[in-house]
Amino acid sequence: MGYGGRVARTALTTRAAADTLDAADPLAGFRARFALGGSRRLYVDGNSLGPLAHDVRAALEARTDEWRDRLVTGWNEWVEAPAVVGDRLAAAALGAAPGQTIVSDSTTVNLYKLAGAALDARAGAIVADASDFPTDRYVLQGLAQRTGRELRMLETDRVAGPQPAEVEAACADSAALVVLSAVNYRSGALARMSEITAAGHEAGALVLWDLCHAAGAVEVDLDAAGADLAVGCTYKYLNSGPGSPAFLYVRSGLQDELRSPIWGWFSQDDQFAMGPTYEPVAGVGRFMAGTPPVLALAAVDAGAAMLAEAGLARVREKAAALTSLAVDLHDERLAAFGFSLGTPREPHRRGAHVSLRHRDAWRICRALIERADVIPDFRAPDSIRFGLAPLYTRFVDVWDAFDRLAGIVESGEHEAMDDARRRVT
């Protein structure tokens, strides 16, 4: 294990030092398994969309062959895929025992299903975070309006993320549901999942974790944290492709008590009897809805398998080391140019991305993409995110990306960029 010297601050941040870290990296071999090409491009946006892995492409092709060869009879196995892939993903990335996780639908739809079910089962307010990802806030706004619940938005410190005491205070006087992200989408702050879950439980609330920026980046342990519910996507650190299906988790002991608001045929007991009356199947399968995306499930399975092979402990340690290098480079190269760090400084309090705040972040981000072949992303109003996914990001990539970024702000090259925000990325 070669990351220890990085997590503890070193005296001088040089490219040679980054090279040394790469040479000792036990995960270094994984990079060749991604189709990242040999170009000058530096991809530091795996926290938004992971790149294509050869294994994932092969899995998609194999599943397409299965469709070709088996046609409709393939459904005899495919019908189990959301649960089978869910269990594999749970073991690889979520710290969840089998029978609690399925993969299907989008994060948004899964959040709607689980939050809706929780509100049917518990009285009281909804507690969420004003700094959380938009779709979480919007889904909860809609459910709050529909169910007449109070939606209490934490105004957390954007860099530090939500604290247990804040959640405890917000839950006072009856709370039904707490929804928070384990890793904040902008700052990368890692929430104290166990303590916050306990605070929610103390108030009688169910606690739902959004793991989009956590799954595959940090050591999530849903079962140990006592989490009730979770959702998350697979197109970031699980590298399963743009719009690949999301997962959902429902704690075993809670499954029989909850019902999805969407009563679909894939959640029906004895589905192919096609009987007259809806009766949800026992277990987490009751949170399925319609026909699952069979081809895409093969990609998620392959993405989860790579993560299982790498091992979450190593992934997590490398993430801490990569982001520590990024923090050091921010301090050394960028702080003098109007940047501030939008990410916790303590390595184990953050995920695998860092956020660099600057009043001209949009134009700097454009210059990085268009002039410097560095691909990060911009998040309103003032953040450039560098996602440092451990499976394929090298320490020299971090060094080079910051070097190019420093070059842009040193030269003022970004000032020539268009300020109009017409593009998604």
Residues assigned a catalytic role = 133, 210, 235-236, 385
Interface with a second copy in residues 113-142 (CB under 8 A):
130, 133-135, 137-139, 141-142
277 binds a second copy per the rule CB under 8 A: yes
Which residue among 233, 306, 398, 409 contacts a second copy (CB under 8 A)? 233
174 binds a second copy per the rule CB under 8 A: no
First to last CA, the chain: 35
Contact by Cβ (8 Å): 329, 318: no
Interface with a second copy in residues 23-52 (CB under 8 A):
35, 43, 45, 48-49, 51-52
Interface with a second copy in residues 238-267 (CB under 8 A):
241-246, 261-266
Which residue among 11, 12, 274, 420 contacts a second copy (CB under 8 A)? 274
Closer by beta carbon to a second copy, 121 or else 295: 295
Contacts of 300 (CB under 8 A, 6+ apart): 85, 89, 103, 234, 238, 240, 244, 245
Pairing of strands 353-357, 383-387: antiparallel
> CB of residue 136 vs a second copy: minimum separation in angstroms?
9
Interface with a second copy in residues 51-70 (CB under 8 A):
51-52, 57, 60, 64, 67-68
227-238 in b/e form (b: 16+ CB < 10 A) is bbbbbbbbbbbb
Which of these segments, 85-93, 306-314, 336-344, 416-424, binds a second copy (CB under 8 A)?
A: 416-424
Interface with a second copy in residues 178-197 (CB under 8 A):
none
Q: Nearest 5°: phi and psi at 19?
A: -55, -45
How far apart CA 419 and CA 416 sit, in angstroms, is 9
Contact by Cβ (8 Å): 41, 375: yes
Contact by Cβ (8 Å): 136, 210: yes
Closer by beta carbon to a second copy, 75 or else 337: 75
Interface with a second copy in residues 287-326 (CB under 8 A):
289-297, 299
How far apart CA 75 and CA 80 sit, in angstroms, is 8
> CB of residue 69 vs a second copy: minimum separation in angstroms?
8
Which residue among 11, 12, 16, 71 contacts a second copy (CB under 8 A)? 71
- 98 CB neighbour count, 10 Å cutoff: 14
The residue type at 19: D
Closer by beta carbon to a second copy, 85 or else 321: 85
Closer by beta carbon to a second copy, 37 or else 253: 37
